[in-house]
Amino acid sequence: MAYLDHVQHCNHRDMTHFRRFIVGGRAVGWVRDDKAAALDGLHPALRMAEDAVVLTLADDTPEARSAVMAEVVTGLVQAGALPRERQELYAVKASWAGPEIMRIDRAAISVFGLKAFGVHMNGFVRKSDGSLHLWVGRRAPDKAVAPDKFDNIVAGGQPAGLTLFDNLLKEAAEEADIPPPLARRAVPVGAITYCFDGRHGLKPDTMFCYDLELPEDFVPVNTDGELSGFTLWPVEDVLAAVRDTDDFKFNVNLVILDFAIRHGLLTPDDEPEYEALLLGLRQPHP
């Protein structure tokens, strides 16, 4: 394996199986052929065009779109095309700073190939001997996605109605018991973009990344059951695991590689994949 394999894995897709999803006259997502078939006839507001699925409403407001999409998602679950609703609304936007186009249950985001946003935090410790360590979480065995895989100390999808930083503070408290005064020291350091063909459809994701330097005596504790524990790893061991294994959740590898690049743990003189990694971590979505 190589670092770049993880980037390629997170961007594996064949767009010939997708058609555009049009809302308010704008292409906002992508629907895979199998899901287009499941959507055909499911709701009168969803019109099947030759090369697109079009949400067609007389009253074309974000609120009206959200109400119809809630019915559509329920219909998909009833038809067996989605396992369940997540009961958590995501805001649909063309970019994080853009206006809300509508809201939709998190479970259906990929069915419509909508952009999803999330926050990931690197919790690191600079020991008194100068060595850099990263807190690594292990995902609970009952997680639907990537059970038992290693994860960042804090990570979470972005629900509608919260700022990214407030979401980070909430997740930091729930996932790692980091008190808000400490979590507030987290520094936004960029974002990673990728897009792959997932179980239910396209995943054009943007992960906003944060670094938090933690005191040597801080020990994270999971409070929401999402993680089964934490270990403080020397950063060199983390990088070796990223390079040689699939032990980390697929997209967490990318967050760690971005951390390694920003902190000079990978260097352009020594790492042949350096430039390919840099471009690979920030790919425009289709």
What is the spatial distance between Cα 256 and Cα 153, in angstroms, rounded to a whole number? 11
- Contacting its own copies (CB under 8 A), which of 187, 219, 221, 240? 187
Count of other CB atoms within 10 angstroms of residue 12 = 12
Of 20-28, 171-179, 226-234, 260-268, which part binds its own copies (CB under 8 A)? 260-268
What is the spatial distance between Cα 6 and Cα 196, in angstroms, rounded to a whole number? 12
The answer to whether residue 286 forms part of the interface with its own copies (CB under 8 A) is no
Q: How far is the CB of 18 from its own copies (least distance, A)?
A: 21
Of 14-22, 124-132, 136-144, 185-193, which part binds its own copies (CB under 8 A)? 185-193
Of 31-39, 143-151, 184-192, 214-222, which part binds its own copies (CB under 8 A)? 184-192
For 123, residues 6+ apart whose C-beta sits below 8 A from its C-beta are: 134, 135, 152, 153, 154, 176, 178, 212, 214, 220
Find the DSSP H helices in the chain. 3-9, 33-39, 62-78, 164-176, 180-183, 235-244, 250-262, 274-280
The answer to whether residue 271 forms part of the interface with its own copies (CB under 8 A) is yes
Q: How far is the CB of 157 from its own copies (least distance, A)?
A: 15
| Dihedral angle over CA of 259, 264, 268, 269, nearest 10 | -150
The answer to whether residue 182 forms part of the interface with its own copies (CB under 8 A) is no
Place of tokens 């990673």: 192
- Contacting its own copies (CB under 8 A), which of 96, 144, 179, 236? 96
Binding residues for its own copies, per CB under 8 A? 95-97, 163-165, 187-191, 193, 206, 208, 261-264, 266-269, 271-276, 278-279, 281-282, 284
